[in-house]
Structure formats: C-alpha cells, structure tokens
C-alpha cells in the first residue's frame, strides 16, 4: 500500500512538472517572446522538450508499475498501452537525426560586407534546405541550397548574431589569405569553414514551383539564394519570372550570384529578371 501511495505521489509531481515545462515552452513560443528572446527560446525548446519526453517515460513506467499484478507484468502492460508505442516512436524520431550527425567542410566566398556564399562537395537533392551549426546542442540554422560551379551552395546574409559572426569570421580569414598571397606571391587559398549537419536535407518550399508551367518569384537582397534553385533547375518548358529588389544586383551580393541571375535571364526557357 505504501509503495502504491508513493508511486501515486510521484506521478502527481511529474504531472505538475510536465505542465510547468510545457507552459514555459508555450510562453516562449509566442511571436513577441520568441523574437525578443530568440536564443533562449531555442535552448529551452530543445532541452525542456527532451526533459518532458524523459518525464513522460518516467510517468508511464510508474503507472505501469502501479497497475502491475502477479498475473500481469509491467512488460505486458506496456506492450498493450498505446502511450508506450507513441513514446517509442517519438523517442526514435528524436534520436535518429543525431545518428546522422556529420561535420562537413565548406568553402566560403565573401560576396559583400553582409553576405557570404558557402559551397560544399557533397551531393544533395535539388531544392534542398540544409541546416548547419557550429554548436549542435545549442542552435541550428536552415539555408536553401542552389547549384553552382563549385558545387551546391547557400547564401548566408547578416540576419542575427550567429550569421554576423560567421560572416565576420569568413571575412577575417579571407583577408589573412589575401595578405599571405600578396607576401608569398602564391595563389590565394580558399577559405575553409567547418559546420555540423544532421539528418537528411529537406525539400524547400520552392520545390513546389515544379508543379506550375509559369512561376513568378519575388525576393529581396540575399533572398536570391533560395530563388536560384528554382531558376537554375527548373523544367526546360517552364516560364519563370524573377523580381529581385536589391541595390546593384550585379554587384550585391557580388557578381558570383548576380552573374548567375543575369546569365539565366539571357538563356533559353523563358526566364526573365526584373532587378530593382
């Protein structure tokens, strides 16, 4: 009797703890709170979410132990409980991406003071969106990819403290490489950066453009990155139009991107560009 009462008390404590954790997650998910405390939101969403799953497991095991009898074991109770299978599936989906954790080498190309292009040699499906991180347990940032001569690429623009730090590091290493090249007379070495990736690249929203014979894409600034995938890998018969609102489109974020847009607009397949 004492064991059952202790188990009941523990289940109650866990239930209230779960409610508190979920309320914190929901509160920080509000648009205003998320924008104001973005880094805190990411950390709490991840770690409190994992803690909640662990507490759900603990609560389920306590309930199964409390309901067990000499004729019905805990294992038998769990195998016939849908909550057990739901938690098993949820736990697998949480663990699986971390089994795919890899550290890739990227080549950084400085496009402008506020944007860089990262290229990598790994083959991925077109229209893919790739999440990268320098600290896997802390934060992840997704970027749309597009084809280029150096391999699949992505454009990173200054949109926060993390991207600002990455761009600053790339510019610093590029400046050191130029200085070393000027002193030695050797060819300037490419700037290499390392990021973690996990799970599989995901299809971006613009992959849906394949469904339509005519598409109109509107984008601003470095948003040209996601749009390039649809422009450069569209079906031959598709007519595409791009409205790109940016200053000096062939210079910002550098001819490396602007030139691709200009070249595509002059090619076949009905692609037109209007740069503002």
- Cα(122)–Cα(69) distance, integer angstroms: 55
Same domain, 215 and 198: no
- Looking at residue 1, its pLDDT comes to 41
Structural domain includes residue 53: yes
39-43, Cβ contacts within 8 angstroms, sequence gap of 24 or more:
39/139, 39/161, 42/138, 42/139, 43/138, 43/139
- Cα(203)–Cα(187) distance, integer angstroms: 37
User: What tokens appear for 75 in the block?
Assistant: 């294992």
Structural domain includes residue 58: yes
- Mean local confidence (pLDDT), 223-242: 79
The CA-based angle 224-227-230, given to 5 degrees, is: 155
Same domain, 192 and 210: no
Residue-wise pLDDT tens digits, 72-99: 888 899 999 999 999 999 999 999 999 9
Residue-wise pLDDT tens digits, 234-255: 788 888 888 877 766 665 544 4
Give the three-state DSSP class for 197: strand
Same domain, 109 and 176: yes
- Cα(68)–Cα(74) distance, integer angstroms: 6
Same domain, 26 and 67: yes
Could you tell me which of 125, 95, 89 has the C-alpha nearest to residue 200? 125
Please answer whether residues 118 and 222 qualify as being in contact, where contact means their C-beta atoms are separated by less than 8 angstroms. no
Domain count, the chain: 3
- Looking at residue 254, its pLDDT comes to 46
The pLDDT-based confidence of 177 (bands split at 50, 70, 90) is: confident
- Cα(235)–Cα(231) distance, integer angstroms: 9
User: What tokens appear for 163 in the block?
Assistant: 């991207």
Same domain, 149 and 191: yes
Q: Is a pLDDT exceeding 50 seen at residue 144?
A: yes
Point out the domain boundary residue: 80, 115, 146: 80
Residue-wise pLDDT tens digits, 8-42: 888 899 999 999 999 999 999 999 998 888 888 88
Q: What is the CATH number of the domain that holds 106?
A: 2.40.30
Same domain, 230 and 192: no
Same domain, 108 and 197: yes
Query: For 123-187, what is the HEC assignment?
Result: CCCCCEEEEEEEECCCEEEEEECECCCCCCEEEEECCCHHHHHHHHHHHHHHHHHHHHHHHHCCC
Q: Global pTM?
A: 0.78
Pick 56 or 111 by higher pLDDT. Answer: 56
- The whole domain housing 56 covers 1-80
């Amino acid at each position: 009797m004492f064991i059952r009462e202790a188990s009941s008390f523990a289940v109650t404590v866990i239930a209230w703890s779960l409610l508190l954790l979920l309320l914190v997650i929901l509160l920080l998910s509000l648009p205003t709170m998320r924008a104001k405390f973005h880094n805190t939101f990411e950390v709490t969403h991840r770690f409190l979410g994992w803690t909640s799953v662990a507490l759900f497991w603990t609560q389920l095991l306590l309930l199964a132990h409390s309901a067990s009898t000499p004729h019905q074991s805990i294992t038998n109770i769990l195998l016939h409980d849908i909550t057990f299978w739901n938690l098993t599936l949820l736990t697998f989906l949480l663990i699986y991406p971390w089994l795919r954790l890899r550290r890739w080498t990227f080549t950084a190309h400085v496009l402008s003071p506020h944007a860089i292009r990262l290229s990598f040699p790994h083959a991925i499906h077109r229209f893919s969106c790739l999440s990268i991180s320098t600290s896997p347990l802390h934060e992840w940032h997704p970027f749309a990819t597009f084809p280029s001569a150096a391999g699949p690429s992505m454009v990173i623009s200054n949109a926060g403290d993390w991207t600002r730090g990455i761009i600053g590091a790339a510019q610093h290493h590029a400046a050191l490489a130029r200085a070393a090249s000027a002193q030695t007379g050797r060819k300037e070495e490419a700037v290499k950066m390392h990021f973690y990736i996990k799970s599989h690249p995901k299809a971006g929203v613009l992959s849906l453009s394949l469904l339509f014979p005519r598409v109109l894409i509107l984008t601003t600034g470095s948003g040209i990155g996601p749009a390039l995938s649809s422009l450069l890998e569209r079906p031959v018969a598709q007519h595409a139009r791009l409205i790109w609102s940016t200053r000096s489109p062939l210079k910002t974020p550098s001819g490396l991107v602007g030139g691709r847009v200009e070249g595509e607009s002059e090619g076949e397949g009905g692609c037109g560009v209007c740069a503002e």
